[in-house]
């Protein structure tokens, strides 16, 4: 607006129209004078929002989306919707708002028992994917719509592909195709909000920047997206978590962000020591565990906030009881308020690891707890449709 010689408040009006009213055409921004809308259109400006191109539905209610970014290349990126979350958000919610009682669902959960009822399938975008029993009962009670979920988590991508090359991750196989722009990162959230009729300020929706890509290798665009989501869309950064494989310069920049705009931080630890970590995450040779921890220490945590260490259990490689004791020692030594999120490895074609068995997972968790560490096990969501951690981007090119 400045470049066009227009007052700054016109920029605010556009942001308001794009992110609050979610207009889809420049011509619908009625707060702008018609002459200005015409000038913008004539100059080639348009409203280009990412849209859902394809939907894959899991038997567990999870949906994986191919989201098409507008532009000449029409590339797609993957985003995941997890009604009821994956369990890892419960502790976070308590930290963000100690008055919410986790674990008390207040709405019916239509999917809970319907396992195996239908095969994973891809459906037409836009078609509601489950019965919405209350959708038509308008006027029966005040305007708040009742949803078939009481909370949800959206897993957002920051890049197409990833350059980091973790050995257990399917996204790594793609290499880095390109960075996503800030609008493409924030736009994934809006596309899912529209499909699921999420009401900002009412529904309990958490965002995790844990989709395809390494957010801290696309730092500026990633943080610009967070600012859009906080300032323009109106979401709370305390309900957002960014996960990094341990990009030290990124963590250092993150530490300098103002707390009111900073998501929570999760670090993909994934191994009990540098030796194993370097094997499964070659990036560890550049930034070993100690360097990552030193950088994390620079982050000023909010009251009650904890750092999350994610830990992928690879059968025989990272899931043994002695590994749990090493992890506990390591986490204690950091002296940070921290918790560990365990993730059972999700398989992918051509990836030479094995899934840990449930008893081993449980004893790993108990070993951590016995050693004084808070530990959660993340529920695998959408494995049947390749929507679970580390499985994204199997089906982008159709």
Active-site residue set: 78, 389
Going by C-alpha positions, the residue among 53, 64, 17, 306 that lies closest to residue 170 is 64
**Shortest distance (Å) from residue 169 CB to ligand SAH:** 3
**Residue the block writes with tokens 């696309």:** 218
Residues in region 226-245 near ligand SAH by CB under 6 A: 243-245
Going by C-alpha positions, the residue among 255, 230, 237, 307 that lies closest to residue 96 is 237
Cβ pair 215, 222 in contact under 8 A: yes
Q: With respect to ligand SAH, which residue has the nearer C-beta, 51 or 243?
A: 243
| Cα 9 from Cα 108, distance rounded (Å) | 44
Q: With respect to ligand SF4, which residue has the nearer C-beta, 17 or 267?
A: 267
Q: With respect to ligand SAH, which residue has the nearer C-beta, 221 or 268?
A: 268
| Cα 98 from Cα 210, distance rounded (Å) | 24
| Cα 197 from Cα 191, distance rounded (Å) | 10
| Cα 299 from Cα 253, distance rounded (Å) | 9
Q: Work out whether 153 is an interface residue with ligand SAH (CB under 6 A).
A: no
Going by C-alpha positions, the residue among 89, 70, 95, 225 that lies closest to residue 156 is 225
Name which of ligand SAH, ligand SF4, none residue 310 binds, using a CB cut-off of 5 to 8 Å depending on partner kind: ligand SAH
DSSP state of 379: P
Q: With respect to ligand SF4, which residue has the nearer C-beta, 183 or 390?
A: 390
| Cα 139 from Cα 131, distance rounded (Å) | 19
Q: With respect to ligand SAH, which residue has the nearer C-beta, 116 or 349?
A: 349
Q: Work out whether 346 is an interface residue with ligand SAH (CB under 6 A).
A: yes
**Shortest distance (Å) from residue 171 CB to ligand SF4:** 4
Cα dihedral 110, 115, 116, 121, rounded to 10, equals 50
DSSP state of 233: I
Sheet containing 151-155: which strands, arranged edge to edge? Answer: 121-123, 51-57, 63-68, 76-83, 151-155, 204-209, 240-244, 264-268, 307-313, 338-344, 375-378
Q: Work out whether 373 is an interface residue with ligand SF4 (CB under 6 A).
A: no
Name which of ligand SF4, ligand SAH, none residue 331 binds, using a CB cut-off of 5 to 8 Å depending on partner kind: none
**Shortest distance (Å) from residue 107 CB to ligand SAH:** 28
Cβ pair 297, 268 in contact under 8 A: no
Q: Work out whether 185 is an interface residue with ligand SF4 (CB under 6 A).
A: no
Q: Work out whether 280 is an interface residue with ligand SAH (CB under 6 A).
A: no
Q: With respect to ligand SF4, which residue has the nearer C-beta, 111 or 168?
A: 168
Name which of ligand SAH, ligand SF4, none residue 238 binds, using a CB cut-off of 5 to 8 Å depending on partner kind: none
Q: With respect to ligand SF4, which residue has the nearer C-beta, 204 or 378?
A: 378
The residue from 270, 308, 320, 334 that contacts ligand SAH (CB under 6 A) is 270
The residue from 185, 190, 210, 396 that contacts ligand SAH (CB under 6 A) is 210
Cβ pair 191, 52 in contact under 8 A: yes
Q: Work out whether 245 is an interface residue with ligand SF4 (CB under 6 A).
A: yes
Q: Work out whether 172 is an interface residue with ligand SF4 (CB under 6 A).
A: yes
Q: Work out whether 171 is an interface residue with ligand SF4 (CB under 6 A).
A: yes
Q: Work out whether 310 is an interface residue with ligand SF4 (CB under 6 A).
A: no
Q: Work out whether 196 is an interface residue with ligand SAH (CB under 6 A).
A: no
Q: Work out whether 280 is an interface residue with ligand SF4 (CB under 6 A).
A: no
Strand-pair category, 338-344 with 151-155: unpaired
**Shortest distance (Å) from residue 245 CB to ligand SF4:** 4
**Residue the block writes with tokens 């007052």:** 7
Going by C-alpha positions, the residue among 317, 389, 392, 393 that lies closest to residue 353 is 317
Cβ pair 230, 241 in contact under 8 A: no
| Cα 31 from Cα 29, distance rounded (Å) | 6
* Residue numbers at the binding site for ligand SAH (CB under 6 A): 168-169, 210, 214, 243-245, 268, 270, 310, 312, 343, 345-346, 348, 389-390
Binding site for ligand SF4 (CB under 6 A): 162, 164-166, 169, 171-172, 213-214, 245, 390
């Amino acid at each position: 607006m400045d470049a066009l010689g227009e007052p700054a408040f016109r920029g605010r009006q556009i942001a308001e129209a794009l992110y609050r009213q979610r207009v889809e055409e420049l011509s619908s921004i009625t707060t702008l004078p018609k002459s200005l809308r015409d000038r913008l259109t004539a100059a080639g400006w348009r409203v280009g929002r990412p849209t859902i191109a394809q939907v894959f539905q899991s038997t567990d209610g999870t949906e994986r989306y191919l989201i098409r970014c507008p532009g000449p290349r029409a590339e797609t990126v993957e985003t995941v919707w997890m009604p009821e979350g994956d369990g890892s958000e419960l502790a976070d919610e308590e930290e963000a708002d100690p008055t919410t009682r986790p674990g008390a669902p207040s709405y019916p959960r239509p999917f809970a028992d319907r396992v195996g009822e239908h095969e994973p399938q891809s459906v037409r975008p836009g078609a509601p994917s489950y019965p919405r029993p209350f959708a038509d009962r308008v006027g029966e009670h005040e305007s708040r719509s009742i949803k078939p979920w009481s909370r949800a988590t959206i897993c957002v991508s920051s890049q197409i592909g990833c350059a980091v090359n973790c050995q257990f991750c399917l996204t790594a196989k793609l290499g880095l195709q390109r960075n996503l722009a800030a609008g493409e990162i924030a736009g994934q959230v809006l596309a899912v909000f529209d499909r699921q009729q999420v009401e900002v300020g009412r529904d309990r929706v958490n965002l995790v920047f844990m989709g395809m890509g390494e957010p801290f290798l696309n730092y500026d665009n990633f943080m610009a997206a967070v600012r859009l989501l906080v300032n323009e869309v109106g979401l709370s950064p305390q309900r957002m978590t960014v996960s990094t494989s341990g990009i030290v310069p990124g963590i250092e920049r993150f530490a300098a962000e103002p707390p009111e705009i900073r998501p929570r931080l999760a670090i993909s630890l994934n191994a009990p020591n540098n030796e194993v970590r370097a094997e499964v995450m070659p990036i560890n040779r550049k930034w070993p565990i100690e360097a990552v921890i030193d950088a994390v220490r620079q982050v000023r945590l909010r009251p009650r906030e904890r750092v999350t260490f994610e830990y992928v259990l690879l059968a025989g490689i990272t899931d043994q009881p002695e590994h749990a004791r090493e992890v506990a020692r390591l986490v204690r030594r950091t002296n940070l308020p921290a918790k560990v999120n365990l993730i059972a490895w999700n398989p992918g074609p051509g990836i030479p690891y094995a899934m840990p068995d449930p008893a081993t997972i449980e004893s790993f968790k108990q070993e951590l707890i016995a050693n004084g560490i808070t530990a959660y096990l993340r529920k695998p969501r959408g494995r049947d449709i390749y929507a679970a951690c580390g499985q994204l981007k199997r089906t982008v090119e159709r």
